[in-house]
Chain A
Amino acid sequence: KQEVTQIPAALSVPEGENLVLNCSFTDSAIYNLQWFRQDPGKGLTSLLLIQSSQREQTSGRLNASLDKSSGRSTLYIAASQPGDSATYLCAVRGLGNTGKLIFGQGTTLQVKP
């Protein structure tokens, strides 16, 4: 059974720092991995989608990497801003005819001005 774990659970950094959020998954047989942002009491906003054949994806100050064989993904945020404060979730989609995502518990990020 696929398990997704994110560390750290919470992170507080001063504005301007570069930071890395970690995601690990137990079953490397995935179709893709998606990173989401969730603001308090709000929905999920997709940030980056990495297919299993890809190593990384970039969008602005965000870079996500995927090492499928070791069951790891990282989300790198460059030059963090207070507006980046949110919970970041990673989710994996398994192989086969399924659209189901398995989520990690998230990393809650606070960027202090």
Chain B
Amino acid sequence: EPEVTQTPSHQVTQMGQEVILRCVPISNHLYFYWYRQILGQKVEFLVSFYNNEISEKSEIFDDQFSVERPDGSNFTLKIRSTKLEDSAMYFCAGDLTRSGANVLTFGAGSRLTVL
């Protein structure tokens, strides 16, 4: 069964450093998402991406965050200058459509620890 692949599985970084989290979506998916889950808290929506542009973003997704799909396969989340509160599990997800007729498929996540 096709999978959403995320790398790295765990990254430890110093506060203020830039971090890039990578995702390889399922090949026929068109809509892509990043979610995050701070330890012990709810899974929160960050951003959705379609046709090489952001289609929706949450208030969490400020200027420190950016997303891109540079080569048509990898979908990346960049945090420019990490803060302690960015420590969380980050999940990539993909969908065939925006309508929700299909199941949103999540990757295994990338755990980010900011020291």
Q: Which residues of A contact B75 (CB under 8 A)?
A: none
Instruction: Find out whether the CB atom of B109 lies under 8 angstroms from the CB atom of A42.
Output: yes
A99 pairs with B42, CB closer than 8 A:
no
A residues touching B (Cβ–Cβ < 8 Å)? 31-32, 34, 36, 41-46, 49, 51, 89, 91, 93, 97-106
Secondary structure class of chain B's binding surface, majority of residues: strand
Flag if A103 contacts B109 (CB, 8 Å).
no
> Which residues of the other chain, A, contact B102 by a CB distance below 8 angstroms?
49
With A98-B98, A103-B42: A42-B108 Cβ-Cβ less than 8 Å: yes
Answer whether residue B56 sits at the interface, using C-beta atoms and an 8 A cutoff.
Answer: yes
On whether the beta carbons of B111 and A41 are closer than 8 Å, the reply is: yes
Nearest first, the 8 closest Cβ-Cβ pairs linking A and B are A43-B108, A44-B106, A103-B43, A31-B100, A93-B100, A100-B45, A46-B103, A43-B109
- Residue from A34, A43, A89, A104 in contact with B103 in the complex, judged by beta carbons closer than 8 Å: A34
Contact with A along B11-38 (1 / 0, CB 8 A): 0000000000000000000010101000
- Tell me which residues across on chain B come within 8 A of A98, comparing CB atoms: 48, 56, 98
Least distance between B92 CB and chain A CB atoms (Å): 9
Which of A42, A91, A99 contacts B48 (CB under 8 A)?
Answer: A99
Contact with A along B40-66 (1 / 0, CB 8 A): 011111001000000110100000000
Contacts A31-B100, A44-B43, A105-B41 known; A99 to B106 CB distance under 8 Å?
no
A32 touches B43 (CB 8 A): no
A49 with B103, Cβ < 8 A, contacts A42-B109, A100-B45 known: yes
A99 touches B100 (CB 8 A): yes
27 inter-chain pairs at a CB distance below 8 angstroms, sorted by A residue, are A31-B99, A32-B100, A42-B108, A43-B106, A44-B106, A45-B106, A46-B105, A46-B106, A49-B103, A97-B98, A98-B56, A98-B98, A99-B33, A99-B48, A99-B55, A99-B104, A100-B45, A100-B48, A100-B56, A101-B35, A101-B43, A101-B104, A103-B42, A103-B43, A103-B44, A104-B42, A105-B41
Are B108 and A101 in contact, CB atoms less than 8 angstroms apart? no
